[in-house]
Amino acid sequence: MQYLLGGRHRVVQVRVSDAEFEALEAKAVASGVSMPRYVIGAVLDETLTVAERRYWLMEINSLLRTLVGARNRLDALIELGRAAGSVPAEVTTAAKALTRMESRVTEAAANFTRAFEETDRWARREGPAEAELI
């Protein structure tokens, strides 16, 4: 969740049994967040924890780096082929396909990030962004 202007000033106390406490603690540890953060996420019906979001964004960035690296290697092969006088059609086709995949993954990553920002706004009861109301 993003930083809340002015911080959190309200306190909610909840009594739980030993078994409930252990279950909450185990789930929070498994999610990679504190117990209060886990409880807030569960109550506000957040589908992914902050740690899970971070994980998926790292995975998307890793995929993008792999695609860019592959496209760069294919571009180098195309340049070598041009210098030698012939470029196999398969290499050019593969380079174009990688460029399209890179574009689609970049767009998906942007949508992924926007969806979480929107979820956070609604969770804080801020409603849609002003730009979306126009």
Structure tokens at 71: 């496209």
The pLDDT score that the predictor gives to residue 133 is 46
pLDDT score recorded for residue 122 = 60
Answer for the pair 52, 31: CB distance below 8 angstroms, yes or no.
yes
Rounded distance between C-alpha atoms, residue 4 and residue 123, angstroms:
12
Say whether pLDDT at 18 is over 80: yes
Please give the backbone phi and psi of residue 6, each rounded to the nearest 5 degrees, phi first. 85, -5
* For residues 125-132, average pLDDT: 51
Closest CA to 54 of 73, 86, 32: 32
Measure the CA–CA gap between 52 and 47, rounded to whole angstroms: 9
Compute the distance between CA of residue 107 and CA of residue 113 in angstroms, rounded to an integer: 10
CA angle 8, 40, 17 (to 5 degrees): 115
Instruction: Tell me which range, 23-27, 35-39, 42-46, 127-131, is most confidently predicted by mean pLDDT.
Output: 23-27
pLDDT in tens, 28-87: 888 777 888 888 877 776 666 667 777 888 888 898 899 889 888 888 988 998 998 888
| Per-residue model confidence (pLDDT) at position 134 | 45
Cα 96 to chain centroid distance, Å, stands at: 26
- Please state, rounded to an integer, the average pLDDT across all residues of the chain: 79
Q: How far, in Å, CA of 34 to CA of 79, rounded?
A: 52
Q: What is the mean pLDDT of residues 20-28?
A: 90
Domain boundary assignment for the chain: 48-133
Kindly report, residue by residue over 3-17, the tens digit of the pLDDT. 556 566 788 888 999
Q: Between 133 and 55, whose confidence is greater?
A: 55
Q: How many residues does the chain have?
A: 134
